[in-house]
Structure 1
Amino acid sequence: MAFFFNRGRSRQPAEVVRSTKDLLLRIHDSQNAPKAKEELAKQLSHMKVMVQGTQEVGALPDQVHALVQATLQEDLLYDLSQSIHLLPFEARKDTQTIFSHILRFRPVGYPSDKEPPVISYLVHNRSEVIVELCRGYMQSQSAMPCGVILREALKSDVIAAIVLYDQSSEGEPTIRLSEVKHLLPQKGDGVFWRFFDWIDKSNFEISADAFTTFREILTRHKAIVCSYLQTNFELFFGRFNNILIQSDSYVTKRQSIKLLGEILLDRANYTVMMRYVDSGENLKLCMKLLRDDRKMVQYEGFHVFKVFVANPHKSVAVQRILINNRDRLLRFLPKFLEDRTEDDQFTDEKSFLVRQIEILPKEPVDHTRATRDSSSANTAAMA
């Protein structure tokens, strides 16, 4: 009975949101912070119950709708994204839950084929929230809860567009969805480019979570990422190769090589793959991975190396490197990771690569020139 009595006296969603916002302002004041944090933790716990309900009683759709509207009206998501690193541990977890529920909330009757209303609101009106969540990787306390919230938001292509194309500095307005210019090359100083350093230079927990979000962006949103990589090819792969593939961290290095293979072998990225495997410098980097001291780095490197060798239209630069190293490769590959005796696919791929290297011409062939000559000959014959 007490439960129902308390529910009757519960405060309205708008009141809870305003109280939470006021407390968020107070935790930045060192003198009042301890008491404010204690009160704020209670408010966030209460708000979590409002959005997700309890084991006994589910959330009330009308109450959740009112809470979402009040949250947007008071700009609470922005305040939470800026202050989450200051919250106590349990309050950070509650904030993560609140955020995630609000991001995917759909009112009764809302079309299932449209973006959730809060997602749409953020990308058109308050994309600073998304960028602040990314900057959560700057603080160890906020990295993982912000990462979880980001990955919930990144289920939508429009959120990925904001992360990829925003180039604002801290304190500046961030990009809106209507301002995204897919064909405009970037300078490399936006929030997306900071993931390289967050992955490479942070402690293990932050690095691992940042890499998970980074991979989510690059592998989930195929159409937008393919366009993005084509427009920013040199800048992106320059940093990917130099920072991630050559990282001093074994975990970062191995994961990044594996991610590179995923990107290149994704059918949606065919144009990107062909451009990457045209580069002799990229091939040299890949061949260096085959000689790494760690077997899993060698193994992941092999799956990128095979793309260069299997390409039937190898560039002159790639052909020249393979031809110059033909004898060494033919001695090296049969013994490469020969203890993987139960991996039949790997064994077959090695045999295929050996055969491709054996049949390389003595001198490089310019396939682009051959194609042009053939086209000219056909045109002349038709004339």
Structure 2
Amino acid sequence: MSFFFRGGSRQRPTPQEIVRSIKDSLVALDTKTGAKALEDAEKNILTLRHALSGDGEVEPNQEQVLQIALEICKEGVLSLFVQNLPSLGWEGRKDLVHCWCILLRQKVDESYCCVQYIENHVDLLDFLVVCYKNLEIALNCGNMLRECIKYPTLAKYILESSSFELFFQYVELPNFDIASDALNTFKDLLTKHEDAVSEFLSSHYEQFFGLYTRLLSSTNYVTRRQSVKFLSEFLLEAPNAQIMKRYILDVHYLNIMIGLLKDSSKNIRICAFHIFKVFVANPNKPREIVRVLVDNHRELLKLLHNLPTSKGEDEQLDEERDLIIKQIEKLVRLSV
């Protein structure tokens, strides 16, 4: 059965009718093949979109939107959305993602009913992450995941699941659009909820940075550039101060930054400098860090002197570079 309305030619369906119609058509799509089953499913999803966000002529009724969200959860339609996403056409997928984002934002009695549904069906999150491997629906799934990540319980689940490690593969996918989308989702996971991220990195520190180091050493220029840029921003954010303090005590990571200071890319060298400077400026440098800085001071000073200048655009960068040069020179004098 399909509800599809134009110009108010029929009385609009109730929330229960809309949801029942969608459920029936998605179940049929899952069990049947053919253009008719697909057409019915996509028409019903479009009707849902109109009910949730209006159709250009009639504005949505917020009370009905909430009723639809409750009915969607009651009937398990969110699971059908995810399961049948690969079967839909381009327009159908776009409409479904639009509906998904609106539904997750609906708050009933101080709780997000659709978010609670996903909390109880976390396999949906795992499925969406894995779908980055599917060229046809990867970007749709990325949008759906980023909407989920806005909620701390869902973000925390993804961070702590085995699926999270897949992002370290996805950001190096040969398809630039998908790799960039995966990186955006990866960034959201690590920046949206400070407490969850801090807890995750505290308990998975070695594993996380071991995987992240591979990205910094990637032969793919875009991956290398985006990874060092994000790391330079992430470590210097105030909520991540404890993670940064731990990071700059590790001589292995110092050597990674020194290697990136030699990169052929100006942007990579500048981002690497912003991390390297924290190793040098740390007043409590371990002996191994001091030894590397002193033993390699000639090469380091040359790299820093050759660091691209801002030409007046960023005087702070020039000042920081000069300060770090002086710090290294001071270390050398004290070691003599």
TM over 0.5: yes
Q: Deviations over 1:77-108 (max 9, x none)?
A: 1121122122111111100111011000124x
**Which residue pairs with 1:230 in the alignment?**
202
**Which residue pairs with 2:302 in the alignment?**
331
Which of residues 175, 182, 204 in structure 2 aligns to 1:203? 175
Give the secondary structure class of the aligned counterpart of 1:359.
helix
Q: Determine whether 1:20 maps to 2:22.
A: yes
- 1:357 deviates by 0.4
- 1:363 deviates by 7.2
Name the aligned partner's letter for residue 106 of structure 2. F
- 1:360 deviates by 0.8
Which of residues 106, 113, 118 in structure 2 aligns to 1:122? 118
**Contact kept in structure 2, 1:17 and 1:67, CA below 8 Å:** yes
**Which residue pairs with 1:63 in the alignment?**
64
- 1:28 deviates by 4.2
Name the aligned partner's letter for residue 142 of structure 2. G
- 1:241 deviates by 0.5
**Contact kept in structure 2, 1:85 and 1:136, CA below 8 Å:** no
Q: How does 1:102-251 map to 2 (within 5 A)?
A: 102-107=103-108, 110-111=109-110, 115-123=111-119, 125-166=120-161, 190-242=162-214, 244-251=215-222
**Contact kept in structure 1, 2:145 and 2:185, CA below 8 Å:** yes
Which of residues 218, 243, 247 in structure 2 aligns to 1:272? 243
Q: Deviations over 1:284-321 (max 9, x none)?
A: 11111111111111121111111111111111111111
**Which residue pairs with 1:370 in the alignment?**
none
Q: How does 1:344-359 map to 2 (within 5 A)?
A: 344-359=315-330
In structure 2, C-alpha distance between the alignment counterparts of 1:141 and 1:82, rounded to whole Å: 14
**Which residue pairs with 2:3 in the alignment?**
none
- 1:5 deviates by 4.7
Q: Determine whether 1:312 maps to 2:283.
A: yes
Give the secondary structure class of the aligned counterpart of 2:13.
coil
**Contact kept in structure 2, 1:78 and 1:128, CA below 8 Å:** no
**Structure 1 residues 58 and 339, CA gap change in structure 2 (3 angstroms):** closer
Q: Deviations over 1:199-243 (max 9, x none)?
A: 11351111111100100110121111112111111100000011x
**Structure 1 residues 79 and 202, CA gap change in structure 2 (3 angstroms):** farther
- Unmatched 5+ residue regions in structure 1? 167-189, 365-383
**Structure 1 residues 208 and 33, CA gap change in structure 2 (3 angstroms):** farther
Name the aligned partner's letter for residue 12 of structure 1. T
Q: How does 1:291-306 map to 2 (within 5 A)?
A: 291-306=262-277
Give the secondary structure class of the aligned counterpart of 1:287.
helix
- 1:253 deviates by 1.3
**Structure 1 residues 117 and 20, CA gap change in structure 2 (3 angstroms):** closer
Q: Deviations over 1:49-84 (max 9, x none)?
A: 011113332112232222212211221111211221
- Unmatched 5+ residue regions in structure 2? 1-5
Name the aligned partner's letter for residue 322 of structure 1. L
- 1:361 deviates by 5.3
Name the aligned partner's letter for residue 71 of structure 2. A
| RMSD, matched Cα | 2.0
**Which residue pairs with 2:78 in the alignment?**
77
Give the secondary structure class of the aligned counterpart of 1:235.
helix
- 1:247 deviates by 2.1
**Contact kept in structure 1, 2:148 and 2:154, CA below 8 Å:** yes
**Which residue pairs with 1:360 in the alignment?**
331
In structure 1, C-alpha distance between the alignment counterparts of 2:14 and 2:135, rounded to whole Å: 34
Give the secondary structure class of the aligned counterpart of 2:154.
helix
TM-score of the aligned structures, taking structure 2 as reference length: 0.92
Q: Determine whether 1:322 maps to 2:293.
A: yes
Q: Percent identity?
A: 32
Q: Deviations over 1:133-181 (max 9, x none)?
A: 2222121222112211222222221111111123xxxxxxxxxxxxxxx
Q: How many residues end up aligned between the 2 structures?
A: 330
Moved over 4 A (4+): 361-364
Give the secondary structure class of the aligned counterpart of 2:284.
coil
Name the aligned partner's letter for residue 52 of structure 1. S
- 1:339 deviates by 6.2
